Chain A
Amino acid sequence: MKDFLLLFRGGNDMTAMRESPENYQQHLVKWKAWMEALGKQGKFLGGQPLSGEARVISGSKKVVTDGPYVEGKEIIGGYLLVRAADMKEAVRLSSDCPIFEADGIVEVREIRELEA
């Protein structure tokens, strides 16, 4: 078993969703159902949605700037940690994610085990 990070990009345009609270609620219910299903299989390790508010700190001078200067579709809206046998299974688990209904992207990354 390996652990994987699922990065959610775009898709969760919550401002648009919030304008229709019903749609927003329905969308949340789907996320909950998906995660419950992962949890029941013992694959769910954790994860959080992220707010749009962001700062970028860069360089040796640690310059702080607003936002990660990327297209809306590229903004990371949340992450999940899951457990899967291999990359193939992690991708399969991700394919049920409700984000695809909202035109989003899931990036699957394996957690690297560093040599001690």
Chain B
Amino acid sequence: MREGANTSVTSLVDHLFRHESGRMVSALTRIFGIHNLALAEDVVQEAFLKACQEWRLNPIPPNPSAWLLVTARNRAIDAIRRHRHQVAFSEDITHLLNSEYTAAGTVDGMFLDDEIADSQLRMIFTCCHPALPAEMRIPLTLRTLSGFGIQEIAAALLTNGETITKRLYRARQCIREQEIRFEIPAGGDLEKRLETVYTVLYLLFNEGYNSGRAGELIRKDLCAEAMRLCLLLSQHRVGDRPRTYALLSLMCFHASRFDSRMTRDNEIVLLQDQDRSTWDGELIRRGEYYLGRAAEGEEVSEYHIEAAISAQYALAPSFHETDWILIAGLYDALLTLKANPLVKLNRAVVLGRIHGPQVAIEEIHRIDGWERLASRHYLYNAVLGQLYIEADDHIRARECITRAGALTTSEAEKRLLARKLDTLRPPN
């Protein structure tokens, strides 16, 4: 009985940590200043530790989140009293925190819902700051805003805990050295800074959606976090704009197919074989709603086009009734904004649906440096292999699929490729 109660407390605390620690760290950083990020994280840790201890001995409070916020608030005031003579806090309120007349009231003000939302936005802009090296942005975002542990980040990004610890350390150092401010950018700066935020959220989502290597649960968490942060951005005046909704729409459409892409035995199910009734209808509806919001205005960004493409896939009644001509047109438009090889590869596949596999293969051969790309990345080989199967060239198909199998690190991909090899006519 005791054991069971402890387990449920631990899982409740873990759950709350994932959901509340980002809010708490953001509010505390607003109070202490970004230079005291480590102090903010310590105070949050203390609050959760206290929750673990208290809730094992006493009944769990009716509103555990509120209990945690109050505990963090009290710990923050203790920390202010302890440190006020040695350290400066947030520049604009440090004098208020130094005086007992105003300290508690100022801290309380920062724990109001609107202020917490504002602080989380400041945190997003800080973690996605262009002055931070790109490889630090996702770990820092996951750590401070999403409550991911070091090991979870390492698992999600396919590296080890030591590397993540080092990156986080350097990220904090970089924030101090570059004097990155904990603020929501304004004026002309805002556009540029939003662009970096979108990029980080897009990468974070793709890391979860496409990596195919990390464990299923952690990948779902990455997608959920990218969507949560994007939603948070859309709910704030600075992020309430078409491009944010386009990104959100794109994420919803993709996420609607998340569970349908794998069987229970962890085997990959290709789009044409997926059971459309298992797609998440609620997410598709949200995708459509956000796509509508994205269309309010003149702007067309890469996210708009990608959302429109994924809408076509999500809303087609069946794979064969997909409007390939419309999608090809959207890829042409996407190419003018984002001419990278991956977009060209996807466009080639769509052209293949319209004009046959030979056209797709020719398109891929037209991608700059495709041979170099194919020697490094499994995806080009896997796609070419499938196209050769459709073109009934089983010799080339075998070459490509074998190479793809050697290049991918995903066990599920390897099995899918092996299944394809089995369907080929044997050589000779």
Contact = CB atoms under 8 A, between A and B. Distances in A.
A45 B99 CA distance: 9
B110 to A, nearest CB: 13
Interface in B86-114: 93, 95-96, 98-102, 105-106
A22 to B, nearest CB: 15
A68 interface: no
Interface of B: 93, 95-96, 98-102, 105-106
B262 to A, nearest CB: 55
Contact of B106 (A32, A47, A49): A32
5 contacts: A39-B95, A46-B95, A47-B99, A48-B100, A49-B101
B99 A36 contact: no
A44 B102 CA distance: 12
Interface of A: 28-29, 31-32, 35-36, 39, 44-49, 78, 80
Q: Which of B93, B98, B101, B106 has the most CB of A within 10 A?
A: B101
Contacts of A46: 95, 98-99
B101 A47 contact: yes
Contacts of A31: 101-102
Contacts of A80: 99, 101
A39 B102 CA distance: 11
Given A35-B95, A78-B101, 12 more contacts: A28-B105, A31-B101, A32-B101, A35-B102, A36-B102, A39-B93, A39-B96, A47-B101, A49-B100, A49-B101, A80-B99, A80-B101
Nearest 10 Cβ contacts at the A-B interface: A32-B105, A32-B102, A48-B100, A35-B102, A44-B95, A31-B101, A39-B95, A47-B99, A49-B100, A49-B101
A35 B100 contact: no
